[in-house]
Amino acid sequence: MFDLTGKNALITGASGGIGGEIAKALHAAGATVGLSGTRVEPLEALAAELGERAHVLPCNLSDKEAVEALPKQAAEAMGSVDILVNNAGITRDNLFMRMSDDEWDSVLNVNLTSTMKLCKGVLRGMMKARWGRIVNISSIVGATGNPGQGNYAAAKAGMVGMSKSLAYEVATRGITVNCVAPGFIATAMTDKLTDDQKDKINAQIPAARMGTPEEIAAAVLYLASNEAGYTTGTTLHVNGGMAML
Amino acid sequence: MSDIADRVKKIVVEHLDVEEDKVTETASFIDDLGADSLDTVELVMAFEEEFGIEIPDDAAETIQTFGDAVKFITEAS
């Protein structure tokens, strides 16, 4: 099941914990992967680990021109972009009353606007091919909110509304657009938490543990597959039951 | 009929799966030839590739009929 042989996938934020696992999962299913991210070193390390069918495509998503160039670079490197995974994201947390315009703008810009531009950039090829998969990585906080993350939650909720609208428009062309909304996932970022902090988080999760990047990657793999052709406009919540939506 | 008109007609017939004689000068892609709004975007994409031209979004919106398309492409190429 879930054979992606011959498909070309562009993954943003592939230098991070979740993005790297998504790239590995799609690659293991046979896809050629375009690994995008700001930090070149981890991307090259991942490409070396994957071996064949892996391309490094550095891109700073806060740079408008670089974002617009990325779909073209990916199509040139791989031949096409059949699967797009918008995984990259940043946080600039602050209390709403203290949040600066810059904190708001940069999070909306990188997390939402760049996602829109990348979707737009790959659509032409997908429409011609009559096949495409777009998977946008949202977040549980886009649905539930989170103190200190007004900007991040807005961007992640915006992603869901945008994905649904696009899903409507392109459904007749064999293109699906879905979101995956992770809950707490164990990555380098959560490793920094103290045991006490981790216990408090786990107490809020019915599964009583954080998720793994592999568990997010599995959801992405499904949505990227041929088998998921009738699943569009949906958000797959992968959160250990923390929010049952 | 000009060469450009022939090539445009071929694209329209293939893309919208309509009879050739339905594609008249004043035939509207949406009202007469059954296109939806996304079809019109795809037609413009196909014209761009066939004729090696760029059709900006605001110009694309003015291309409503077969005649509009032929006129625009003739002027652009």
User: Domain of B33: which CATH number?
Assistant: 1.10.1200.10
| pLDDT of B38 | 92
Mean pLDDT over residues A31-38, rounded? 98
Mean pLDDT over residues B58-70, rounded? 95
Mutate which: B17, B37, B40, B41, vs A, most A CBs within 10 A: B41
| pLDDT of A160 | 98
**Helices and strands (H and E) in chain A: how many:** 10, 7
Residue A145 token pair: 């909110």
Cβ under 8 Å to A: B residues 44-63: 45
Average pLDDT over all residues of chain A: 96
What sign does the dihedral A109-A113-A119-A121 (CA atoms) show?
Answer: negative
- Helix ranges (H only) for chain B are 3-16, 37-51, 57-60, 66-76
Determine the Cα–Cα distance for residues A203 and A85; give it in Å rounded to an integer.
31
Q: Give percent above pLDDT 70 in chain A.
A: 100
Chain B contacts of A127, Cβ < 8 Å?
38, 41-42, 45
| pLDDT of B1 | 57
A152 is in an annotated binding site: yes
Q: Tokens 């017939």 sit at which residue?
A: B13
Determine the Cα–Cα distance for residues A167 and A165; give it in Å rounded to an integer.
5
Q: What are phi and psi of B75, to 5 degrees?
A: -70, -35
Least confident of A39-53, A182-196, B23-37: A182-196
A38 is in an annotated binding site: yes
Mean pLDDT over residues A152-177, rounded? 98
Q: How many domains does chain B fold into? A: 1
pLDDT grade for A6, boundaries at 50, 70 and 90: very high
Our CA-based measurement puts residue A127 at a distance from the nearest CA of chain B, in whole angstroms, of: 8
Chain B contacts of A173, Cβ < 8 Å?
38
Interface contact B45-A169, CB threshold 8 A: no
Residue A187 token pair: 């990555």
Mean pLDDT over residues A3-29, rounded? 97
pLDDT grade for A190, boundaries at 50, 70 and 90: confident
Does the annotation mark B6 as catalytic?
no
Q: How many CB pairs under 8 A join A and B?
A: 11
A75 is in an annotated binding site: no
B38 at interface of A, judged by CB pairs closer than 8 A: yes
Q: Is A54 helix (H, G, I), strand (E, B) or coil?
A: strand
B1 at interface of A, judged by CB pairs closer than 8 A: no
| pLDDT of A20 | 97
ipTM of the complex: 0.81
Q: Has residue A224 got a pLDDT over 90?
A: yes
| pLDDT of B77 | 82
- C-alpha distances (whole Å) from B39 to each of A10, A202, A215, B45 are 26, 50, 38, 10
Looking only at the bridges linking them, the beta strands covering A175-182 and A132-137 are parallel
Q: Give percent above pLDDT 90 in chain A.
A: 96
* Active-site choice (A152, A168, A222, A230): A152
Mutate which: B11, B16, B38, B48, vs A, most A CBs within 10 A: B38
* Active-site choice (B17, B36, B39, B68): B36
Dump pLDDT digits (tens) for A121-133: 999 999 999 999 9
Q: Are A137 and A85 in contact (CB under 8 A)?
A: yes
Structural domain containing residue B71: 1-76
Domains identified in chain A and CATH numbers: 8-235 (3.40.50.720)
| pLDDT of A191 | 84
Dump pLDDT digits (tens) for A134-151: 999 999 999 999 999 999
pTM of the model: 0.93
Closest chain B residue to the Cα of A166, Cα to Cα: B38
Q: Tokens 């617009």 sit at which residue?
A: A68
Residue A82 token pair: 């059949």
Q: Which residues of A touch B (CB under 8 A)?
A: 124, 127-128, 169-170, 172-173
pLDDT grade for A22, boundaries at 50, 70 and 90: very high
Interface contact B42-A170, CB threshold 8 A: no
A167 is in an annotated binding site: no
Mean pLDDT over residues A211-219, rounded? 98
Q: Has residue A101 got a pLDDT over 60?
A: yes
Chain B contacts of A169, Cβ < 8 Å?
38
Partner residue facing B45 (CB), from A124, A170, A172: A124
